[in-house]
Amino acid sequence: MDQSQVNKEMTELGKSRYWNRINKAREVGLESTTDAGQRLLGECVSKLEESIKRWIAESARRPGRRHRAHPYLIQLPPNVVAAITSQAVLDCISQNRKIVSTATQVARLLEDEVQFRHIRENEPSFWNSTHRIVNKNLSANKKAKFIKKAAMIANVPLPSWDKKDLVQVGIVCIELMRESTGIIDIVTRSNILGKSVTLVRPTDELMSWLKNAHKAGELLKPVYLPMVETPVDWKRPVYGGYGIVFARNRPLIKSRSKSYNQVVEASGMPEVYNAVNTLQRTAFRINETVFETFQHCWENGREISGIPAVEAIIPSKPSDIDTNEDARRRWRKEAARIHFENERLQSKKLQISKILYLANKFKSKPIWYPRQLDFRGREYPIPYYLQPQGPDVAKGLLLFDEAKPIDDTNVGWLAIHIANCFGHDKLAFQKRIDWVNDNDDWIRAIGENPIDVSDWASADKPLQFLAGCVEWAGYRKHGNGYMSRLPISMDATTQGLQLYSLLLRDSVGAMATNCLQRDEPNDIYGQVAEVVKQRLASDTNPYAKLWLSFGINRSTTKRQTMTLPYGSTFYSCKTYTTEWFYETMKSKHKVNPFGEETYKPCAYLAEIIWQSISQVVGSAQVCMAWLQDVAQLCVENDVTPMWWTPNNFFIDMRYEQTNSLNIKTSIGRVIRQHQIRVGNGKIDTRKTKNAIAPNFIHGLDGIGGLLGMTVNRMNEGYGVTSIRSTHDEIAVLAADAGVLSTTVREMTCKMFEQDILTNFSDQIQSLLPASVTLPPVPPKGTLDISSVMQSDYYFS
Q: What pLDDT digit, counting tens, does each position of 441-490 carry?
A: 999 999 999 999 999 999 999 999 999 999 999 999 999 999 999 999 99
Three-class HEC string of 270-296? HHHHHHHHHHHHCCEEECHHHHHHHHH
pLDDT tens digits, one per residue of 697-711: 999 999 999 999 999
DSSP string, 638-669: T---EEE-TT--EEE---EEE---EEE-TT--
Q: Which residue has the higher pLDDT, 405 or 199?
A: 405
Closest CA to 170 of 98, 97, 95, 110: 110
**What average pLDDT does this structure show over 720-745?**
96
Look at residue 99 in the predicted model and tell me its pLDDT.
Answer: 87
pLDDT tens digits, one per residue of 745-778: 999 999 999 999 999 999 999 999 999 999 999 9
Look at residue 202 in the predicted model and tell me its pLDDT.
Answer: 84
Q: Compute, in degrees rounded to 10, the torsion defined by CA atoms 593, 598, 604, 606.
A: 110
State how far the Cα of 112 lies from the Cα of 144, in Å rounded to an integer: 7
Helix, strand or coil, per DSSP, at residue 251: coil
CB atoms within 10 A of CB 59: 16
Helices (H), 704-736: 706-718
Instruction: State the pLDDT confidence band at 302, using cuts at 50, 70 and 90.
Output: confident
Q: Which residue has the higher pLDDT, 248 or 574?
A: 574
- Residues ≥6 apart with Cβ < 8 Å to 431: 424, 520
Residues 764 and 774: beta-carbon distance below 8 Å: yes
Q: Residue 747 to residues 708, 730, 785, 793: CA-CA distances in angstroms?
A: 10, 14, 11, 16
CB atoms within 10 A of CB 205: 10
Give the total residue count for the chain: 796
Which residues, listed in sequence order, are joined to residue 286 by a DSSP beta bridge?
A: 398
- Name all domains of the chain by residue range, CATH numbers in brackets: 36-216 (1.10.1320.10), 404-484 (1.10.287.280), 496-790 (1.10.150.20)
Residues 114 and 75: beta-carbon distance below 8 Å: yes
- DSSP symbol at 517: -
Helix, strand or coil, per DSSP, at residue 318: coil
Q: Which residue has the higher pLDDT, 677 or 104?
A: 104
DSSP string, 754-794: S-HHHHHHHHHHTTS-TT--PPPPPPP----GGGGGG-TTS
State how far the Cα of 206 lies from the Cα of 44, in Å rounded to an integer: 12
**What average pLDDT does this structure show over 706-730?**
96
**What average pLDDT does this structure show over 532-560?**
94
Q: Compute, in degrees rounded to 10, the torsion defined by CA atoms 763, 767, 773, 774.
A: -50
Residues 746 and 789: beta-carbon distance below 8 Å: yes
Model confidence at 191: pLDDT above 70: no
Closest CA to 139 of 28, 14, 294: 28
Instruction: State the pLDDT confidence band at 673, using cuts at 50, 70 and 90.
Output: very low
**What average pLDDT does this structure show over 233-246?**
85
Q: Is 214 left (phi over 0), alpha (psi -120 to 50) or beta?
A: alpha
Angle, helix 440-448 to helix 462-478, in steps of 10 degrees: 100
Model confidence at 375: pLDDT above 90: yes
Characterize 228-255 residue by residue with b for buried, 16 or more Cβ atoms within 10 angstroms of its Cβ, and e for exposed. Answer: beebbebeebeebbbeebbeeebbbbeb
Say which range, 141-150, 373-382, 716-725, 740-749, has the weakest mean pLDDT: 141-150
Mean pLDDT is highest, among 321-335, 339-353, 601-615, 667-681, for 601-615
Look at residue 678 in the predicted model and tell me its pLDDT.
Answer: 46
Look at residue 345 in the predicted model and tell me its pLDDT.
Answer: 67
State how far the Cα of 93 lies from the Cα of 96, in Å rounded to an integer: 5
Helices (H), 309-410: 325-362, 392-397
State how far the Cα of 545 lies from the Cα of 161, in Å rounded to an integer: 49
Look at residue 7 in the predicted model and tell me its pLDDT.
Answer: 82
Instruction: State the pLDDT confidence band at 680, using cuts at 50, 70 and 90.
Output: low
Question: Looking at beta carbons, which pairs linking 259-265 to residues 24 or more positions away fall under 8 Å?
Answer: 260/375, 260/650, 260/652, 261/237, 263/650, 263/652, 264/237, 264/650, 265/236, 265/237, 265/238
Helices (H), 449-506: 462-478, 495-503
Model confidence at 136: pLDDT above 60: no
- DSSP symbol at 253: B
* Average pLDDT value for the chain: 87
**Pairing between β-strand 656-658 and β-strand 679-683 as defined by DSSP bridges:** antiparallel
